[in-house]
Amino acid sequence: MSDYNKQKLTQAKPAMGMRGPGGHMGGGPVQKAKNFKVTLKRLLKYLKPHRAALAAVFFLAIASTFFTIASPKIMGQVMNKVKDSFVARMLVGQMTEAQAKARDAIMLQMKSLQTPTPQVSPATVSALREFMALAELKTLSGGKEKAAVLRSMLQVFAKLPQEAMAEMKFTPAQMEDALMAVESTNGELDYAGMGKILLYLLGMYLLSALFTFASGWLMSTVSQRTVYDLRQAVDRKLGRLPLKYYDSHPHGEILSRVTNDVDMISTTLQQSITQGITSIVQLIGFVIMMLSISGTLTLIVLGTLPLYIIATMFTAKKSQKYFAEQQKELGAISGHIEEMYSGHVIVKAFGREKHALGEFDAINKRLAKAGARAQFISGIMFPAMNFISNLGYVLISVVGGLWMTKARLNLGDITAFIQYSRSFTQPIMQTANIANVIQSTVACAERVFEMLDEEEELPDAPDAALPEKIYGEINITAMDFSYKSEEPLIKNLSLDVKKGHTIAIVGPTGAGKTTLVNLLMRFYEIQGGAISVDGVDIRKMPRSGLRSIFGMVLQDTWLFNGTIRENIAYGRDGAGEEDIVNAAKAAHADHFIRTLPEGYDTVLNEEATNISQGQKQLLTIARAILADPAVLILDEATSSVDTRTEVLIQKAMTALMADRTAFVIAHRLSTIRDAELILVMDHGSIIEQGPHAELLEKGGFYAELYKAQFTGSQAERA
What are the tens digits of pLDDT across the range 13-60?
333 333 333 333 334 455 566 788 888 888 888 888 888 988 898 888
pLDDT at 531: 92
Calculate what percentage of the chain has a pLDDT beyond 90: 4
Q: For the residues 540-556, what does the mean pLDDT come to? A: 84
Tell me which long-range contacts 558-563 makes (C-beta under 8 A, separation of at least 24).
Answer: 558/620, 559/604, 559/608, 559/616, 559/619, 559/620, 560/604, 561/603, 561/604, 561/605, 561/606, 562/603, 562/604, 563/598, 563/600, 563/601, 563/602, 563/603, 563/604
Q: Which of 42-51, 238-247, 328-337, 595-604 has the lowest mean pLDDT?
A: 328-337
pLDDT in tens, 576-633: 999 999 989 888 889 889 998 889 999 887 666 778 877 888 888 888 888 888 888 8
Stated as kind and residue range, the H or E segment containing 536 is strand 536-537
In angstroms, what CA-CA distances link 606 with 9, 227, 338, 555?
Answer: 19, 27, 15, 19
pLDDT tens column, 477-509: 988 888 877 777 888 888 888 888 888 888 887
How many residues does this entry show for the chain? 718
87: exposed, middle or buried (Cβ count in 10 Å: 0-12, 13-18, 19+)? buried
Q: How confident is the model at residue 532 (pLDDT cuts 50, 70, 90)?
A: very high
From the centroid of its chain, how far is CA 29?
15
Confidence of residue 113 (pLDDT cuts 50, 70, 90): low
When pLDDT is averaged across residues 91-109 and rounded to a whole number, the result is 75
More confident residue, 456 or 190: 456
Average of per-residue pLDDT across 177-206? 77
What is the C-alpha separation between 273 and 77, in angstroms, rounded? 33
Q: Residue 580 and residue 565: Cα distance in Å, rounded? A: 7
Residue 303 DSSP symbol: T
Angle formed at CA 209 by CA 208 and CA 212, multiple of 5 degrees:
85
Q: What is the pLDDT of the chain when averaged over all its residues? A: 79
Residue pLDDT, tens place only, 391-444: 877 888 888 878 877 767 777 778 888 888 878 777 877 777 787 788 778 888
Residue 146 and residue 714: Cα distance in Å, rounded? Answer: 125
Convert 429-456 to b/e letters by CB count within 10 Å (16 or more is b).
bbbbbbebbbbbbbbbbbbbbebeeeee
Q: 471, 534 in Cβ contact below 8 A?
A: yes
Q: Quick one: pLDDT at residue 568?
A: 92
Distance CA 28, CA 23 (A): 9
| HEC letters along 12-34 | CCCCCCCCCHHHCCCCCCCCCCC
Q: Residue 536 — φ and ψ, nearest 5°? A: -105, 125
Indicate the pLDDT class of residue 167, thresholds 50, 70 and 90: very low
Q: What is the pLDDT of residue 580?
A: 92
- pLDDT exceeding 70 applies to what percent of the chain? 86
**Closest alpha carbon to 174 in 409, 416, 414:** 409
The answer to whether residues 475 and 522 touch, using CB atoms and an 8 Å cutoff, is no
Note the pLDDT of residue 20.
Answer: 36
Q: What is the pLDDT of residue 145?
A: 81
Calculate ∠ Cα 478-479-485, nearest 5°: 130
Higher pLDDT, 668 or 340: 340
State the angle between helix axes of 411-452 and 305-342 in degrees (0 to 180), rounded to the nearest 10.
40
Query: Using CA of residue 228, residue 560, residue 503, residue 245, what is the dihedral sign?
Result: positive
pLDDT at site 581: 92
Taking residues 106-123, report their average pLDDT.
62
Is there a contact between 336 and 363 (Cβ–Cβ < 8 Å)?
yes
Contact (CB, 8 A) for 551 and 633: yes
Describe the strand order of the beta sheet including 474-481 as a list of residue ranges: 490-497, 474-481, 528-533, 536-537
Write the pLDDT tens digit of every residue in 368-391: 888 888 788 777 777 877 787 778
Give the model's pLDDT for residue 88: 77
Is residue 165's pLDDT more than 50? no
Model pLDDT, residue 30: 53
What was the pLDDT predicted at 6? 41
> Given CA atoms 409, 411, 414, 417 in this order, what sign does their dihedral have?
negative
**Tell me, what's the pLDDT at 715?**
39
pLDDT in tens, 120-145: 677 777 777 777 777 877 777 777 88
Q: For 602-642, what is the HEC assignment?
A: CEECCCCCCCCHHHHHHHHHHHHHHHCCCEEEEECCCCCCC
| Predicted pLDDT of residue 160 | 65
Report whether pLDDT(115) > 60: no
Q: Which of 184-198, 208-222, 293-307 has the lowest mean pLDDT?
A: 184-198
Residues contacting residue 693 through CB under 8 Å, at least 6 positions apart: none
- pLDDT band for position 111 (50/70/90)? low
* Structure confidence at residue 4 (pLDDT): 38
Give per-residue burial for 680-712: e unless 16+ CB within 10 Å, then b: bbeebbbebbbebeebeeeeebbeebbeeeeee
